[in-house]
Structure 1
Amino acid sequence: MKPYQPHKLPLNDIDWSKLIDLMGKANRYIARYDGLLQSVINPDVLLAPLRTQEAVQSSKIEGTQASLKDVLEYEGDQDVEEYKKGDIYEVINYRIALREGREQMQTKPLTLNLIRKMHEILMHDVRGNSADPGNFRRIQNFIGTPGSAIDNARFVPPAVPVMKEALGDWEHYMHHEELDVIVQLAIVHAQFEIIHPFLDGNGRMGRILIPLFLYHKRIIHEPVFYLSDYLESHRSDYYDALKDITDSGSWINWIRFFLNAIIVQAEQNIKKTRAIINLYEQVKKEVTESTHSQYAIHCLDTIFIQPIFSTNYFSRNSGIPKSSVTRLLDILVKEKVIEIAQLGAGRRPTIYAFKRLLTIVNG
């Protein structure tokens, strides 16, 4: 199989009439979601579990087995099985890379250099860390079953010289004013996966770019539009739609698949975000009235950021004096704001869970 020759961007043969029914709806749902985002006063707190869930789902598409519960338990100081840690680190790296992109984009545009930096973070000390993290590939790669040869590959990305030219073309297209930004995002994501510029981590990197591109285009005010939940649950359709581009040369099926994914996921994101906002206000009242403490909001924000946690974690990260921690946690348990997931014994701390939030995030 010969290396693929990618289309030049922008595409000059899009049949927009075949997309119009989904374009309007996708843009309306994104706008509705962004309107909700703008009402979130403290997104770093309220949206933290959704960021972790996105990282879990995107990594799962690539074969990791870590669940949201596994990651939260690990970060909340609970012991996890050794064999899970590699997958957990991949999830954490995904979240850190996304945060790095967001922070850099406060002062810089979305560029190939920033993407290389995020890729380096994504692959740090995890599976694929020997595959030249942070650098575009210098050799031919291919996609196929493990152990197969390039002759039996499912797809062979562009040769290195073509890849370099296509990447420059792709970066330029990100700053192009397309007729529809969501369609442009569909093309940006697919073209990145087709170019396959890294030796490993291309799928995760391409999905990180989805919220960052919307943020780059000022379609959303925070880069928190997460699509991996839909892509994971429609994994075969996702890959088939991408493959249809390289098999047939037609982009329509892929763009329609992507627009529909945006619509469905936006609706779910709206429901989850609204439910989290409502829960925050409800629990804020419960915690304030039950603790009568100046540290009520500290308690509230800590359990929203980390809904599975140990006594030690809470003491370290809440900003509450150690002398008040036990009393406040006891009150939260008594009032059924949180519950004990695992009772401490000896040097092992008690583990708590904020199950109402976990239920929302898990859908």
Structure 2
Amino acid sequence: MHPYVPASLPLTNLDLARLLPKIGPANAALARYDGLLQSVVNPAVMLSPLTQREAVLSSKIEGTQATVDEVLEFEAGMHFDAEKTKDIQEVVNYRKTLTLATEEVAHRPISLGLLRQMHAVLMDGVRGANKTPGEFRREQNWIGSAGCRIEQASFVPPSSLQLLDHLQAWEAYLADNDADVLLQCAVVHAQFELIHPFKDGNGRIGRLLIPLFLHQKGALASPMFYLSDYLEGHREAYYAHLQAISRDGDWSGWIAFFLDAVTQQALNNTGRVRAMMSLYADMKRRITELTRSQHAMAVLDALFDRPIFQSGDFVQRSGIPKQSALPFLRTLRDAGVLQVLRESSGRRSAVLAFRDLLNCAEGREIL
């Protein structure tokens, strides 16, 4: 099998009759979601569970087995076996990478340099840490069953000798404007995956690019639109459409799939954000009534930012004096707002959970 040669961008000969009926609804659904997002006073705090969920689901597509509550419990100081800890650390790295990239695109465009920065954080100290984190590959790689030879591969990415040329062409396309921002986003993601510039971690970096690109192009006020929920639920179709590009040149099939994904995920995200906003408003009233304190909002924001936590960590993150913070936690425990996952013992702090938020973010009971 010969290395894949990426298509020149922008694409020509797309099946516009197939795509046009999907472009309008996808853009409309994304615009409604973005309008809702802009009404959130502090999205980075209030919608923090969505970022946690994205990190878990994008990592799950690559085979990582860790849940949102396990990641939060790990960060709160609870212990897991060695293999589970490796999975959790990959999710933690994904979230760190998303945070870094979000901060960076606020003042500079997406670039090959930023990709290398993101990759270095993503692969730091986890499986694949020996695969040149932060560096584009300098040798041929291929995709297939474990241990297969290149002749048995299901896909062979472009030759490393032409890799930089392909990446620079992709970077130039990313900075330009195509006929439609969502169509362009679909192409940006797929072309990156097909170029496969890193030895490992390409799928996760490629999915991180979706909200970053939409934010850079002005389609999102903040990069908080995550597709991994849909892509995980349609994993076979996701990979099949990407493979159809390399095998048959079927870009229209991939773009149609991507537009459907955006439409459905925007609707799902809208419902999830509204539920979390409603919970925030309800808890604002309840915590104010329970604590009767000027610190009620600081308590609420700390709970939304980290819904599983050690009591000692809560004091530090909330900024509330210890003599006030710990009684607040006892009040919320007694009222059933917080649940105990681990009781305090000696110098070891208790681990508490804000179960309603976790269940709201997941759309089901996980605690």
**Aligning the two structures, in what range does the TM-score lie when normalised by the shorter sequence?**
over 0.9
Trace 1:70-81 onto structure 2 (pairs within 5 A): 70-81=70-81
1:356 is aligned to 2:343? no
Counterpart CA distance in 2 for 1:72 and 1:105 is 26
Match of 1:131 in 2: 131
Shift of residue 348, structure 1, vs aligned partner: 3.6
Match of 2:196 in 1: 196
Moved over 3 A (4+): 345-348
Q: 1:79-131 CA distances to partner (integer Å, 9 max, x unpaired)?
A: 33332211111111111111111111122111111111111111111111111
Q: Secondary structure at the match of 1:288?
A: helix
Report if aligned partners of 1:142, 1:150 keep a CA contact under 8 Å in 2. Answer: yes
Q: 1:175-214 CA distances to partner (integer Å, 9 max, x unpaired)?
A: 2211111011111100000000001100000000010000
Counterpart CA distance in 2 for 1:60 and 1:233 is 11
Q: Secondary structure at the match of 2:341?
A: strand
Counterpart CA distance in 2 for 1:106 and 1:72 is 27
Shift of residue 265, structure 1, vs aligned partner: 0.8
Amino acid aligned to 2:241: A
Match of 2:229 in 1: 229
Shift of residue 253, structure 1, vs aligned partner: 1.1
Shift of residue 326, structure 1, vs aligned partner: 2.4
Match of 1:332 in 2: 332
Shift of residue 312, structure 1, vs aligned partner: 1.9
User: Gapped runs of 5+ residues in structure 1?
Assistant: none
Shift of residue 236, structure 1, vs aligned partner: 0.7
Q: 1:332-359 CA distances to partner (integer Å, 9 max, x unpaired)?
A: 1222222223333344432211111111
User: Gapped runs of 5+ residues in structure 2?
Assistant: none
Q: Secondary structure at the match of 1:340?
A: strand
Shift of residue 17, structure 1, vs aligned partner: 1.4
Match of 2:304 in 1: 304
Match of 2:26 in 1: 26
Report if aligned partners of 1:78, 1:310 keep a CA contact under 8 Å in 2. Answer: no
Shift of residue 245, structure 1, vs aligned partner: 0.6
Counterpart CA distance in 2 for 1:308 and 1:80 is 16
Trace 1:177-196 onto structure 2 (pairs within 5 A): 177-196=177-196
Counterpart CA distance in 2 for 1:227 and 1:328 is 37
Shift of residue 56, structure 1, vs aligned partner: 0.5
Q: How many residues align?
A: 363
Amino acid aligned to 1:286: R
1:6 is aligned to 2:9? no
Match of 1:36 in 2: 36
Amino acid aligned to 2:294: Q
TM-score by length of 1: 0.97
Counterpart CA distance in 2 for 1:302 and 1:273 is 18
Trace 1:191-270 onto structure 2 (pairs within 5 A): 191-270=191-270
Q: Secondary structure at the match of 1:160?
A: coil
Q: Secondary structure at the match of 1:333?
A: helix
Trace 1:258-297 onto structure 2 (pairs within 5 A): 258-297=258-297
Counterpart CA distance in 1 for 2:189 and 2:277 is 30
Counterpart CA distance in 2 for 1:163 and 1:289 is 60
Report if aligned partners of 1:66, 1:87 keep a CA contact under 8 Å in 2. Answer: yes
Report if aligned partners of 1:72, 1:308 keep a CA contact under 8 Å in 2. Answer: yes
Q: 1:19-52 CA distances to partner (integer Å, 9 max, x unpaired)?
A: 1111111000100010011001111211111101
Counterpart CA distance in 1 for 2:106 and 2:53 is 24
1:112 is aligned to 2:112? yes
Counterpart CA distance in 2 for 1:339 and 1:276 is 19
Counterpart CA distance in 2 for 1:74 and 1:353 is 13
Shift of residue 305, structure 1, vs aligned partner: 0.8
Moved more, 316-325 or 7-16: 316-325
Report if aligned partners of 1:78, 1:309 keep a CA contact under 8 Å in 2. Answer: no
Trace 1:46-61 onto structure 2 (pairs within 5 A): 46-61=46-61
1:166 is aligned to 2:134? no
Match of 1:315 in 2: 315
Counterpart CA distance in 1 for 2:252 and 2:205 is 23
Report if aligned partners of 1:8, 1:166 keep a CA contact under 8 Å in 2. Answer: no
Counterpart CA distance in 2 for 1:184 and 1:126 is 32
Amino acid aligned to 1:288: T
CA RMSD of superposed structures (Å): 1.2
Match of 2:144 in 1: 144
Counterpart CA distance in 2 for 1:311 and 1:160 is 50
TM-score by length of 2: 0.96
Amino acid aligned to 1:158: P
Report if aligned partners of 1:73, 1:80 keep a CA contact under 8 Å in 2. Answer: no
Amino acid aligned to 2:75: E
Counterpart CA distance in 2 for 1:70 and 1:214 is 30
Q: 1:119-145 CA distances to partner (integer Å, 9 max, x unpaired)?
A: 111111111111111111110000011
Q: 1:252-296 CA distances to partner (integer Å, 9 max, x unpaired)?
A: 111111111111111111111111111111101101111011221
Counterpart CA distance in 1 for 2:174 and 2:141 is 24
Q: Secondary structure at the match of 1:146?
A: coil
Counterpart CA distance in 1 for 2:313 and 2:73 is 11
Counterpart CA distance in 2 for 1:151 and 1:131 is 22
